[in-house]
Structure 1
């Protein structure tokens, strides 16, 4: 009962209003077509049985139960396969919600009719009227009470325990009323759960308190009980074969019913087959329907065992096939166009996307946007994606906060302060900057697919994501492992350049809406495409009158005497920086000769107190002697060796750092410095004492 209540809580009814014709047709066909297939074969096979056979009267019900669709089962499969944020996942959620609602309605009607079939009074009509009355009471009385609870809960605060207890008592009352009027006791909790306001504070609080108990304790016991009801000695070969044939026809009918409209709407055959297989799988909802039929003696123990085996093989066959056929990343991994700042001309609009997890990220991002120097000659289109973890609901949500879009306003309050800040800044930069804001509510496990899809749609050249550690003014640090895992996924799969922003110093303290600040920006340049991307970004900042750029090039002695101009891309870009920027008095260029990793660490540590922001590349040449042994004891391998030196716990650098990885080829999988293995590896570290008296001095 509690499980079905949670299923209702996680259902977002408003998604049905937003569902297009495609999802409606697929959802209806996912129930009607397999029902026709399985019913036809059931009645054909029934002619081979004697009317006294135990299976004779139940074959129609078996065909019916095997044709049902479940929203919750589909959502769970999508979550397990990490497909909730994919295009197919969104379509499957919408279609299964429609198909599941139709299935639930007819299951309720069938069980009610079965219970009143042999009565001569008006029990069926009485039960139907009482059920309608219960639904009206839930919608018109209980839901307003729960909305009042939500309104009386301050934003960001947990809901009162008294409210949680009240909702739980309402749940028990709905189940009791259903049992009194003659319906199955689980129908009331499902309807009541759908009336609960989804998401925080109420829906997520209910899910957090009940889901662990249900999934870890009650559901395993329920599965054990269901398996115990399976009596293998009752299985008879002929009955078993007939039920499996019905299941096969229902399975094929569901796939055909889903594939035909999907192909009609120009969906690739492989994707439509994956969608059909995914929605054809069964789960706990079908098991609950089966238990209800057994309880009401619609099915006997033999039919129950046969159908249970059919549910097992259908579910077991679909999941691995879908995992093999469908890869949501193929949409952006197949792109070949370079999307980097280095390859974007300065006279066209630069598209940048940034991700924000908390409101505290907003000032730093706006300051970074300010020093990125949006102008009429080189405007910036800035996409802001507010990321919220999916809690208390099963359906991911993507909200467009454009002024002309009034949809989803009830879900937008979490992003309102962020929206207001960026709107105010956009008005200050009228004509030079276009800001578009979105909110994505999804699980952390699949959030990278959502981000990469938006990068492709918006044609972004740079994706900026916050570091997983936040430094507070009190000196306390807050770490989020899910955000760290998200950043590692993006470094491997993002179809554009990626920047990890570590927020500290003036960049996170100044209010860009009220204070005109002066920023000192440094670039540590060694070699490689990532350093060039960092330098290309810094050259766009160089035109800002309040920004001073200092390029620090670390060189090995054997490379000192080489002329890099017109010989390699590193030398070409540095030459361009000297020509375009050094003539502006406030910018500077320095060369530091380093012979080994100890001298390089010394230079990096000397940057303390010199810059508000440092740009560094993530990857460099592995064969360089400067990095020998450094990767073995990196604290944050996803930042690369230079970024790790600036951010590590023993570092005294107090400014912000932007670590940039250039995407050489959109969708290519880059070397990740064995991030996963290094994070999990525990080795004895070699401590190197480095003198701290060396400074990179700047011209005044």
Structure 2
């Protein structure tokens, strides 16, 4: 082990016998076992562990304070590096700084950050869905191309000219000028994806447009950067050296694409469906990653581009991709990568910023960024993107983050960079990393994405036009449950039905959410293995129904926390009147609860809070696959419990569409007060019930009765009596407004507020009967 205590690698004290190394164990024998005159801080591992502990404790503490201002964690990591660097610790506690961050200790930390950045670029390639390029249309290609080509051509050249004529920068230092200006003109796909995830708009239309444009821009920039590097190599060395380097880079890329990609697909074929990938295969991929990085660096390709290209060859969505993400993402993104931003803050010295920044830096970070924004804004406006969306998108395409910091840290030791200019670079990246999320949040409010004043409810859907329903499914059982409910809505020529099936799959092993319309033949790399059973369920339902029934099936692959955005978007785009959600508790055929998903419950709540239409949660206790509609001797008893209010009016509107089946018996039970106040709400209730009262006198399948309830206790007794009457399905409103005396006192005992007081009672896990429950919330105007 090299002597880390010495100021020079070759300390004269250890050259007498011809050796130039002093043996110092990496691991300490312990604080109490150290020899006299020695310290545990002489050991590199002890120093590294202490450095990591200080960095993460400090960064986490700062982030706990700054997150309330919606600042990304990267800002906290840079600030922790500034505190531990020459700006604060090195200036006010120089002895402590010299002990904790000696020159050799910093080298070890720098090496670790580079390994983290290398693995990060590989994971970015694994997560990136190259199919986004193929699916991108004219808008994405136009915006992505304009936002990178024009800024690179004009701003980099202008910055070089200003540096030569105004700042009198020597020709030898032009490499740093080109690097700085070029990085600020680039659009980084990982940075944009992280920003969209941070703002929770990655599933929106604006998020999809921005993400696709960023991907195209990033891929174009990779080509431009490497062509520029070959051009500089030709000028600095010779054309022969440049051609040789280009040839070696092409050979390396062909080796990755043809040989390593074939071996990756061989690994996928060797892994049975549903089985984990063998560790030996994962070790092979990691070894290939390191070999490609070393070979690329020696061939003239920057060390991170080789792993990035290798990552692109791993198909998104396959078990290998998800396993690599699972094994590496936590340690890379949570531990090794944050060291990169901290290291940049550590290498910065804010005390050297007393002097005015060079004119070319001021030009790049002000006019250059504004010019890049203008390119994105004008191209978006010309392509008929709304004004606010175009502004927000142009701003997000100029966002900066870990990629820029990583490039600066990678090149700080390769080029002759002035400490002041490096500090300005880190400060500028941090400024835009903090500013862009705040301004974008002001420009684009995701809560208003689906806001509208058009009534999208079953109650307002005319019988002639039919009703449009979105059925959500996380698994096949959810689709079967929704289909059983849809069978009751009586789709025939007079009352057509449009069904949109949406299979929801959690995004694992990717950073690009997907929304696939299977009627358009869209697929991803996983070839539909997961969603095909869901498609079969909905297609079978379509074949069993009459011609007016239209069925379309989508698949949404997105993070669990953003899955509700896909539901809201599909329903908004298709003018859906009702969303059917599966209950978060699952039962087996014996009625026992076998699953209770907190994530699914949170998803249901988010949909109900944001949906642009009515929403219903289906508690399916009947485990039969299909309803026995063909059997005329069988009966299906549906009950609508009506207490009044808009949610109950929506539930009654759904029930009215079930009365046409010969084997369906619809019962409407109205609970009312003795002295009910006559107002606007009461008039609406009477209007909705008038037709049911009339039909109950003329139709043997429709029943209507009223029961008097004075308070919540009476209502509770009536609800309990329904369970003894052998109903197959009970429809009830959510009653989000608990001001009615009929539910007074019941809300104090509610375990599941998303179901309301009555729905919570009917969905109780203590009920052993097979009665299913559908809790309905009418559209909240303004959502």
What is the TM-score with the length of structure 1 in the denominator? 0.89
**Structure 1 equivalent of residue 140 of structure 2:** 23
Q: Contact 1:565–1:571 (CA<8 Å) still a contact in 2?
A: no
**Structure 2 equivalent of residue 469 of structure 1:** 585
Report the CA distance between 1:563 and its aligned residue: 9.3
| Alpha-carbon spacing, 1:412–1:510, altered in 2? closer, same or farther (3 Å) | closer
SS of 1:592's partner is strand
SS of 1:509's partner is coil
Report the CA distance between 1:203 and its aligned residue: 1.3
**Structure 2 equivalent of residue 676 of structure 1:** none
SS of 1:645's partner is helix
1:78 has 2:193 as partner? no
**Structure 1 equivalent of residue 327 of structure 2:** 209
Q: What number of residue pairs does the alignment pair up?
A: 661
**Structure 1 equivalent of residue 511 of structure 2:** 394
Report the CA distance between 1:100 and its aligned residue: 0.8
Report the CA distance between 1:317 and its aligned residue: 1.7
Q: Contact 2:317–2:525 (CA<8 Å) still a contact in 1?
A: no
Which moved further from structure 2: 625-634 or 459-468?
A: 625-634
Report the CA distance between 1:602 and its aligned residue: 2.1
Q: Contact 1:607–1:653 (CA<8 Å) still a contact in 2?
A: no
**Structure 2 equivalent of residue 603 of structure 1:** 718
Question: 5 Å matches for 1:542-621?
Answer: 542-559=659-676, 568-608=683-723, 610-619=726-735
**Structure 1 equivalent of residue 651 of structure 2:** 534
Report the CA distance between 1:426 and its aligned residue: 0.9
SS of 2:727's partner is coil
Report the CA distance between 1:643 and its aligned residue: 0.3
**Structure 1 equivalent of residue 100 of structure 2:** none
**Structure 1 equivalent of residue 620 of structure 2:** 503
**Structure 2 equivalent of residue 379 of structure 1:** 496
**Structure 1 equivalent of residue 410 of structure 2:** 292
1:521 has 2:653 as partner? no
SS of 1:629's partner is coil
**Structure 1 equivalent of residue 543 of structure 2:** 427
1:172 has 2:287 as partner? no
Report the CA distance between 1:214 and its aligned residue: 1.1
Question: 5 Å matches for 1:622-661?
Answer: 622-661=738-777
Cα deviation code 1:670-693 (max 9, x no counterpart): xxxxxxxxxxxxxxxxxxxxxxxx
1:452 has 2:568 as partner? yes
RMSD over aligned Cα, in angstroms?
A: 2.6
SS of 1:554's partner is strand
| Alpha-carbon spacing, 1:169–1:51, altered in 2? closer, same or farther (3 Å) | closer
Cα separation, 1, equivalents of 2:163 and 2:340: 33
Question: 5 Å matches for 1:244-255?
Answer: 244-255=362-373
Cα separation, 1, equivalents of 2:437 and 2:463: 48
Cα deviation code 1:38-94 (max 9, x no counterpart): 531441343023355986663233212221111110011001001111111111111
**Structure 2 equivalent of residue 8 of structure 1:** 125
Report the CA distance between 1:226 and its aligned residue: 2.1
**Structure 1 equivalent of residue 521 of structure 2:** 405
Q: Contact 2:612–2:780 (CA<8 Å) still a contact in 1?
A: no
| Alpha-carbon spacing, 1:157–1:476, altered in 2? closer, same or farther (3 Å) | farther
Cα deviation code 1:619-653 (max 9, x no counterpart): 16533333223222310000000000111334445
Q: Contact 1:55–1:239 (CA<8 Å) still a contact in 2?
A: no
Which moved further from structure 2: 573-582 or 67-76?
A: 573-582
Which moved further from structure 2: 49-58 or 277-286?
A: 49-58
Cα separation, 2, equivalents of 1:649 and 1:407: 39
Cα deviation code 1:472-509 (max 9, x no counterpart): 3362332223322222222222121111111212xx32
Report the CA distance between 1:453 and its aligned residue: 2.4
Cα separation, 2, equivalents of 1:620 and 1:184: 58
| Alpha-carbon spacing, 1:7–1:515, altered in 2? closer, same or farther (3 Å) | farther
SS of 1:558's partner is coil
Cα separation, 2, equivalents of 1:182 and 1:57: 16
Q: Contact 1:61–1:298 (CA<8 Å) still a contact in 2?
A: no
Cα separation, 1, equivalents of 2:382 and 2:238: 48
Q: Contact 2:747–2:757 (CA<8 Å) still a contact in 1?
A: yes
Cα separation, 2, equivalents of 1:648 and 1:200: 39
Q: Contact 1:111–1:293 (CA<8 Å) still a contact in 2?
A: no
SS of 1:238's partner is coil
Q: Contact 2:163–2:359 (CA<8 Å) still a contact in 1?
A: no
Question: 5 Å matches for 1:347-362?
Answer: 347-362=464-479
Which moved further from structure 2: 144-153 or 350-359?
A: 144-153
Report the CA distance between 1:422 and its aligned residue: 1.5
| Alpha-carbon spacing, 1:646–1:227, altered in 2? closer, same or farther (3 Å) | same
Q: Contact 1:564–1:572 (CA<8 Å) still a contact in 2?
A: no
Cα separation, 2, equivalents of 1:79 and 1:24: 22
Report the CA distance between 1:307 and its aligned residue: 1.3
Report the CA distance between 1:27 and its aligned residue: 1.1
Question: 5 Å matches for 1:184-195?
Answer: 184-195=302-313
Which moved further from structure 2: 340-349 or 88-97?
A: 340-349
Cα separation, 2, equivalents of 1:224 and 1:44: 31
Cα separation, 2, equivalents of 1:528 and 1:483: 27
Report the CA distance between 1:543 and its aligned residue: 0.4
Q: Contact 1:466–1:500 (CA<8 Å) still a contact in 2?
A: yes
Report the CA distance between 1:406 and its aligned residue: 5.4
Cα deviation code 1:580-601 (max 9, x no counterpart): 2453223322322223322322
Q: Contact 1:70–1:285 (CA<8 Å) still a contact in 2?
A: yes
> Structure 1: which 5+ residue stretches go unaligned?
670-700
Cα separation, 2, equivalents of 1:210 and 1:305: 31
| Alpha-carbon spacing, 1:160–1:257, altered in 2? closer, same or farther (3 Å) | same
| Alpha-carbon spacing, 1:495–1:117, altered in 2? closer, same or farther (3 Å) | same
Cα separation, 1, equivalents of 2:690 and 2:679: 9
Cα separation, 1, equivalents of 2:149 and 2:220: 9
Cα separation, 2, equivalents of 1:566 and 1:661: 16
**Structure 1 equivalent of residue 443 of structure 2:** 325
What is the TM-score with the length of structure 2 in the denominator? 0.80
Cα separation, 1, equivalents of 2:689 and 2:640: 11
Cα separation, 2, equivalents of 1:120 and 1:108: 16
Cα deviation code 1:551-577 (max 9, x no counterpart): 122222334xx9999961212222211
Question: 5 Å matches for 1:474-493?
Answer: 475-493=592-610
Question: 5 Å matches for 1:262-277?
Answer: 262-277=380-395
Q: Contact 1:38–1:249 (CA<8 Å) still a contact in 2?
A: no
Report the CA distance between 1:131 and its aligned residue: 1.4
Report the CA distance between 1:9 and its aligned residue: 0.6
1:137 has 2:224 as partner? no
Cα separation, 2, equivalents of 1:298 and 1:195: 36
Cα separation, 2, equivalents of 1:539 and 1:78: 43
> Structure 2: which 5+ residue stretches go unaligned?
1-117
Cα separation, 1, equivalents of 2:765 and 2:212: 47
**Structure 1 equivalent of residue 453 of structure 2:** 336
Q: Contact 2:203–2:513 (CA<8 Å) still a contact in 1?
A: yes
Q: Contact 1:605–1:652 (CA<8 Å) still a contact in 2?
A: no
